[in-house]
Amino acid sequence: MLVQPVVCPGSGIRSWTVLGDDDVPVVPVDRFLAYLTDIGRSPNTVKAYAHDLKDFWEFLGFRGLDWREARLEDAGEFVAWLQLPPAGRSGAVAVLPPAVPEVSVPTVNRKLAAVSSFYTHQARNGAGPGDLLASWRTGGRGGWKPFLHHISKGKPYRGRAVTLKAPVKLPRILTVSETQAILDACARVRDRFFFALMHESGCRAGEALGLRHEDIAAAEREISIVPRDNANGARAKSGGRTVPVGGELIRLYADYLHGEYGGIDSDYVFINIWAEPRGRAWSYPAAYDLVLRLRAKTGIGFDPHWFRHSAATRWLRDGVPVEVVSKLLGHSSVTTTSAIYGHLTAEDARAALEKAGWLTGREVSW
């Protein structure tokens, strides 16, 4: 089986499909992926769903199952199958218990979420056995209770029937010295401005690559993140927002325009200047090629998303309310922000207690 990129006729929008062993699209998967594209899901999201459903279809083929015949027990076996190496999945090689799982727990959970979404979509269209991975639960004593439980007390809520417990993983952030080293390693103002923008505003790399000159209000010192279609495929993952920035970042933007951008006619802020085609919007591969060069130069194995994590962590440590941080990041809810950045390290906890005077003075003596 194969995941294949496609271009939707008429709109020209890029999407993905899954081809069977006969090189023909798998119809139910193809329709589901087309639906995701139609409702505006990111091409990267559609691509990930395509790969996840390809794995599920390969598992069904190995088991000799039609997708409409799959049951909850089969979903459990799918989890075990995913954790086998390729040779073990085909049944050609017996895998001993100590073998390291082929995919991580978060990846397995993502694939299960894709399968669940597929079956939910089919059920809403009157096809399939219903949501394969959904179970309806009620909040009980000592258990997790959904939001507004006090209003809907006793009513069932939709939960996941199969999911693996993933270890809590703190987002990787950059230290001040690491950030400075990366910025100083940039030989061009454009590149320095790219990373400085993410450090200051907490925007994603795709949001930076889709930035237009009209989105930068120099006088107000504000950067607007605007969801739109971009020639380089860059996307604003979440809704639009405006982020205040400092004057130094605006001055760096001006240095970039006067020193390197010059008279190039383009709406995009980040463009090809030294590579062809000159003036075209800077692409993901070009930006990531810069990241690889800076990794080798600095010895820091960073990812562009670390700048976003660092900004969020810095804001929270400096006392910015979580609801403000959520808005600056463009999260759909404060719950999302808290889930990602709400896990304090021991050092964070100590700093907060010392700031409150809890560790420096006592009302009672020991």
What are phi and psi for residue 111, nearest 5 degrees?
-65, -40
Lookup: tokens for 313: 């962590």
Alpha helices in the chain (DSSP H): 27-38, 43-63, 72-82, 86-89, 105-124, 176-185, 189-201, 205-209, 247-256, 284-298, 305-317, 322-329, 334-341, 346-355
Q: Which residues contact 122 (CB under 8 A, 6 or more apart)?
A: 28, 32, 128
Q: Are strands 14-19 and 134-137 parallel, antiparallel or unpaired?
A: unpaired
Question: Is 119 known to be catalytic?
Answer: no
Point out the catalytic residue in the list 190, 204, 241, 309. 204
Active site residue 251: no
The three-state secondary structure class of 4 is strand
Q: Residue 193 and residue 179: Cα distance in Å, rounded?
A: 13
Instruction: Give yes or no: 331 in active site.
Output: yes
Residue of 190, 235, 241, 308 marked catalytic: 308
What whole-number distance in Å separates Cα of residue 177 and Cα of residue 298? 11
Phi-psi region of 319 (alpha: psi -120 to 50; beta: other; left: phi over 0): left
Catalytic-labelled residue, pool 172, 237, 258, 278: 237
Q: Which of 66, 58, 36 is nearest to 48 (CA)?
A: 36
Q: Which residues are registered as beta bridge partners of 136?
A: 158
**305 catalytically annotated:** yes
Distance CA(140)–CA(88), nearest Å, equals 41
303's tokens: 């990812």
Catalytic-labelled residue, pool 111, 190, 199, 331? 331
From the list 14, 47, 160, 305, the catalytic residue is 305
Q: Which one-letter amino acid corresponds to residue 366? A: W
**Hey, what amino acid is at 326?**
S
Instruction: Decide if 149 is catalytic.
Output: no
Q: Which residues of 195-214 are buried (b: 16+ CB within 10 A; e: fewer)?
A: bbbbbbbbbbbbbbbbbeee
Residues 234 and 281: beta-carbon distance below 8 Å: yes
H-assigned helices in 176-272: 176-185, 189-201, 205-209, 247-256
Catalytic center residues: 204, 237, 305, 308, 331, 341
